[in-house]
Amino acid sequence: MEAHIASTTQVTSRFQDFWGVFRKNYMGLVGLGMLVTAIFVAVFAPVLSPYDPSSTQDVTTGDIYNAPSVDHWLGTDDAGQDVLTNFIFGARVSLTIGFFAAFISLVIGGVFGIVAGFYGGRTEEVLMRFTDIMLVIPDLPLMMVVIALTKPSIFNIILVIGLLYWTTTARVVRSQTLAVKSRKFVLRARSIGAGKGHIIRHHILPLVMPILVVQAVLVVSSAVLAESTLSFLGLGDPTALSWGQMLNYAFGRGAMSTGAWWALVVPGFGIVWVVLGLTLLGQGLEQVLNPRLDTHHLMPSRPTVKSEAAQRSSEKSLLEVKNLSINYISEGKPPARAVENVSFTLKEGELIGLVGESGCGKTTLMLGLLRLLPSAGQIVSGQVYYKDQEITALSDEELNKIRWRNVSIVFQGAMNALNPVRTVGDQIAEAIRKHLPDFPAEKLPARVSELLELVGITSEHKDYYPHQYSGGMRQRAMIAMALACEPQVVIADEPTTALDVMVQAQILDLLDQLRKKLGLAIIFVTHDLGVVAEICDKVLVMYGGVTAEYADVDTIYNSPSHPYTQELLKAFPDLTKPKKKLVSIPGYPPRLDALPAGCRFAPRCPLAFARCHTEQPALHELGDTHIVSCHLVEAPK
Amino acid sequence: MSQQTLLEVRGLKKYFEAGRPGFFSRTVRHVHAVDGVDLNLRKSEVLALVGESGCGKSTLSLLLMGLEDPTEGMITYDGQNITHLNDNERKSVRRKIQMVFQDPYESLNPTQTIEEIVTEPLVVHGFDGSHAERGEKVKKALEDAGLRPAEVYMKRHPHELSGGQRQRVVIAGALVLDPEIILADEPVSMLDVSIRAEIINLLAELRITRQIAVIFITHDLGSVGFFADRVAVMYLGRIVEIGTMLDVLERPQHPYTKALLSVIPVPNPRMRRERIILQGETPNPIDLPTGCRFHPRCPVAIATCKASDPALIPLTKTHQAACLLLVK
Amino acid sequence: MEGIKGYILKRWQYLLKKITWSLFTILFVIILNFFLFRILPGDPARAGVRDPRLTKENIEAIRVRYGLDKPIINCFESLNPIKIGSCTVNPLDTQFFIYMGNLLQGDMMISFHTNQPVAEMLSERLWNTIVLIGAGQLLAIIFGVLFGMFSAWKARTAIDYGSLTLSLVAWSIPTFWLGIILLFWGSNNGMPIAGMSTPGMSSAPLLTRWGDIAQHMFLPTLTYTIVYMGEYMLIMRSSLLDVLSEDYILTAKAKGLSVFQILKDHAITNAMLPLVTIIAINLGFTVGGVIQIETVFSWPGLGMTTVEALNRRDFPVLQGAFLLIAVTVILSNLLADLAYSYLDPRVKTE
pLDDT for residue B237 is more than 80:
yes
> pLDDT band at residue C224, thresholds of 50, 70 and 90?
very high
| Lowest pLDDT segment from A153-157, A387-391, B26-30, C18-22 | B26-30
CB B226 within 8 A of CB B298: no
At residue C28, the pLDDT reads 92
At residue C319, the pLDDT reads 86
CATH match for C118-348 among 1.10.3720.10, 3.20.10.10, 3.40.50.150, 1.10.1670.10? 1.10.3720.10
Give domain limits for chain B. Answer: 5-16+31-251
Question: How many Å apart are CA A305 and CA A212, to the nearest integer?
Answer: 47
- Range A374-392 average pLDDT: 90
At residue A38, the pLDDT reads 95
pLDDT for residue B92 is more than 80:
yes
pLDDT for residue B153 is more than 50:
yes
Handedness of CA A74, A93, C168, A229 (dihedral sign): negative
- Range B218-230 average pLDDT: 85
- Range B210-228 average pLDDT: 88
Q: Which residues pair with B181 in a beta bridge?
A: B97, B213
Question: How many Å apart are CA A280 and CA A32, to the nearest integer?
Answer: 8
Whole-complex ipTM: 0.89
At residue A504, the pLDDT reads 86
Give domain limits for chain C. Answer: 3-104, 118-348
**pLDDT tens per residue, range A519-564:** 899 999 998 888 888 889 999 999 999 999 999 999 999 999 999 9
- B20: number of Cβ within 10 Å: 12
At residue C333, the pLDDT reads 86
A529 and B103 in contact by Cβ < 8 A?
A: no
- Range A295-302 average pLDDT: 82
**pLDDT tens per residue, range A191-231:** 988 889 999 999 999 999 988 999 999 999 999 999 999 99
Question: How many Å apart are CA C310 and CA C334, to the nearest integer?
Answer: 29
Question: How many Å apart are CA B298 and CA B307, to the nearest integer?
Answer: 14
Name the residue among C269, C229, C273, C234 with its Cα closest to residue C249: C269
Nearest residue of B to residue C349, measured between CA atoms: B23
One-character DSSP codes across C87-103? TTS-GGGSHHHHHHHHH
- C65: number of Cβ within 10 Å: 13
CB B91 within 8 A of CB B146: no
Q: In what order do the strands lie in the sheet with A351-355?
A: A407-410, A489-493, A521-526, A351-355, A538-543, A546-552, A626-628, A620-623
CB B48 within 8 A of CB B220: no
One-character DSSP codes across A118-132? HH-HHHHHHHHHHHH
**pLDDT tens per residue, range B266-325:** 888 887 778 888 887 788 888 888 899 999 999 999 999 999 999 999 999 999 999 999
Buried b (16+ CB within 10 A) or exposed e, B253-271: bbbbbebbbbbbbbbbbee
Mean of the per-residue pLDDT values of chain A? 87
Buried b (16+ CB within 10 A) or exposed e, C244-258: bbbbbbbbbbbbbbe
Check CB contact of B178 with chain A, cutoff 8 Å: no
Higher pLDDT, A121 or B233: B233
| Lowest pLDDT segment from A467-476, B241-250, C294-303 | A467-476
Query: C-alpha distances in angstroms, A331 versus A25, A335, A556, B292, C160?
Result: 15, 9, 39, 62, 19
Provide the CA A260 distance to its chain's centre, in angstroms. 50
Percentage of chain B beyond pLDDT 70 is: 96
* CATH code 3.40.50.300 for B5-16+31-251: yes
CB A182 within 8 A of CB A117: no
At residue A414, the pLDDT reads 58
Nearest residue of B to residue C1, measured between CA atoms: B284
At residue C41, the pLDDT reads 58
CB A80 within 8 A of CB A64: yes
Higher pLDDT, A436 or C47: A436
Handedness of CA C51, C54, C60, C62 (dihedral sign): negative
At residue A590, the pLDDT reads 86
> pLDDT band at residue A8, thresholds of 50, 70 and 90?
very low
Coil, strand or helix at A487: coil
- Range B152-170 average pLDDT: 90
Q: DSSP alpha helices (H): ranges in chain B?
A: 57-64, 87-96, 114-124, 131-144, 150-154, 163-175, 193-209, 245-250, 255-263
Chains in contact with B, where contact requires at least 3 CB pairs less than 8 Å apart? A, C
Name the residue among B168, B180, B177 with its Cα closest to residue B144: B168
Question: How many Å apart are CA B132 and CA B135, to the nearest integer?
Answer: 5
Question: How many Å apart are CA A53 and CA A33, to the nearest integer?
Answer: 27
User: Which residues in chain B have their CB less than 8 angstroms from residue C16's CB?
Assistant: 23
CB B7 within 8 A of CB B64: yes
Coil, strand or helix at A518: helix
At residue A91, the pLDDT reads 92
Name the residue among C91, C93, C72, C92 with its Cα closest to residue C83: C72
Question: How many Å apart are CA B35 and CA A576, to the nearest integer?
Answer: 32
User: Which residues in chain B have their CB less than 8 angstroms from residue A9's CB?
Assistant: 152
User: Which residues in chain C have their CB less than 8 angstroms from residue A233's CB?
Assistant: 176, 291-292, 295, 307, 310
**pLDDT tens per residue, range B58-69:** 899 999 999 999
Query: C-alpha distances in angstroms, A476 versus A410, A495, B306, C266?
Result: 9, 9, 30, 21
pLDDT for residue B21 is more than 60:
no
At residue A637, the pLDDT reads 43
At residue A9, the pLDDT reads 41
Candidates A26, A149, A407, A465, partner chain C, best to mutate (most C CBs within 10 A): A149
Candidates A292, A296, A375, partner chain C, best to mutate (most C CBs within 10 A): A296
**pLDDT tens per residue, range A91-117:** 999 999 999 999 999 999 999 999 999
At residue A49, the pLDDT reads 82
Burial of B161 (0-12, 13-18, 19+ CB in 10 A): buried
Question: Can you state the percent helix, strand and coil of chain A, rounding each to 5?
Answer: 50, 10, 35
Question: How many Å apart are CA A151 and CA A128, to the nearest integer?
Answer: 31
Question: How many Å apart are CA A494 and CA A414, to the nearest integer?
Answer: 10
Q: How far is A383 from chain C (nearest CA, A)?
A: 19
At residue C76, the pLDDT reads 54
Buried b (16+ CB within 10 A) or exposed e, C188-223: eeeebbeebbbeeeeeeeeeeeeebbeebbebbbbb
pLDDT for residue A7 is more than 60:
no
Question: How many Å apart are CA A619 and CA A143, to the nearest integer?
Answer: 75
**pLDDT tens per residue, range A305-363:** 887 776 777 667 899 999 999 999 887 788 889 999 999 999 988 999 999 988 888 99
At residue C87, the pLDDT reads 63
At residue A73, the pLDDT reads 77
Question: How many Å apart are CA A298 and CA C157, to the nearest integer?
Answer: 14
One-character DSSP codes across C287-312? HHHHHHHHHHHT--SHHHHHHHHHHT
> pLDDT band at residue B227, thresholds of 50, 70 and 90?
confident
How large is the angle between the packed helices C118-153 and C268-297, nearest 10 degrees? 130
pLDDT for residue A251 is more than 50:
yes
pLDDT for residue A14 is more than 80:
no
Question: How many Å apart are CA B42 and CA C84, to the nearest integer?
Answer: 71
- A633: number of Cβ within 10 Å: 18
Check CB contact of B319 with chain A, cutoff 8 Å: no
Characterise A31 by phi-psi region: left (phi > 0), alpha (psi -120 to 50), beta (else). Answer: alpha
At residue A370, the pLDDT reads 93
CB B217 within 8 A of CB B184: yes
pLDDT for residue C81 is more than 50:
no
Question: How many Å apart are CA A80 and CA C62, to the nearest integer?
Answer: 46
Check CB contact of B24 with chain C, cutoff 8 Å: no
Handedness of CA B41, B44, B50, B54 (dihedral sign): positive
CB A234 within 8 A of CB C310: yes
Characterise A349 by phi-psi region: left (phi > 0), alpha (psi -120 to 50), beta (else). Answer: left
CB A78 within 8 A of CB A249: yes
Question: How many Å apart are CA A173 and CA A211, to the nearest integer?
Answer: 7
Higher pLDDT, C43 or C333: C333
At residue A353, the pLDDT reads 94
pLDDT for residue A87 is more than 50:
yes
B282 and A500 in contact by Cβ < 8 A?
A: yes
First CA to last CA across chain B, in angstroms? 28
Buried b (16+ CB within 10 A) or exposed e, A56-74: eeeeeeebbbbeeeeebeb
Question: How many Å apart are CA A440 and CA A436, to the nearest integer?
Answer: 9
> pLDDT band at residue C192, thresholds of 50, 70 and 90?
confident
Check CB contact of B22 with chain C, cutoff 8 Å: yes
A141 and C288 in contact by Cβ < 8 A?
A: yes
CB A564 within 8 A of CB A549: yes
Q: In what order do the strands lie in the sheet with B313-314?
A: B97-100, B181-185, B213-218, B46-50, B230-235, B238-244, B320-321, B313-314
Nearest residue of B to residue C13, measured between CA atoms: B23
Nearest residue of B to residue C16, measured between CA atoms: B23
- B311: number of Cβ within 10 Å: 10
| Lowest pLDDT segment from A168-172, B257-261, C187-191 | C187-191
Question: How many Å apart are CA A75 and CA A68, to the nearest integer?
Answer: 4
CA angle B196, B201, B202 (to 5 degrees): 100
Nearest residue of A to residue B147, measured between CA atoms: A5
The answer to whether the predicted template modeling score (pTM) of the entire model surpasses 0.80 is yes
Check CB contact of A585 with chain B, cutoff 8 Å: yes
Q: Which helix (H) or strand (E) holds A226?
A: helix A205-230
| Lowest pLDDT segment from A609-623, B110-124, C106-120, C140-154 | C106-120
> pLDDT band at residue A295, thresholds of 50, 70 and 90?
confident
At residue A3, the pLDDT reads 37
Nearest residue of A to residue B200, measured between CA atoms: A582
Mean of the per-residue pLDDT values of chain C? 81
Window 12-41 of B: residues touching A by CB (8 A cutoff) are none
One-character DSSP codes across C214-247? HHHHHHHHHHHHHHHHHHHHHHHHHHHHHHHTSH
pLDDT for residue C60 is more than 50:
yes
A401 and C254 in contact by Cβ < 8 A?
A: no
CB A296 within 8 A of CB C241: yes
Buried b (16+ CB within 10 A) or exposed e, A352-379: bbbbbbebbbbbbbbbbbbbbbbbbbbb
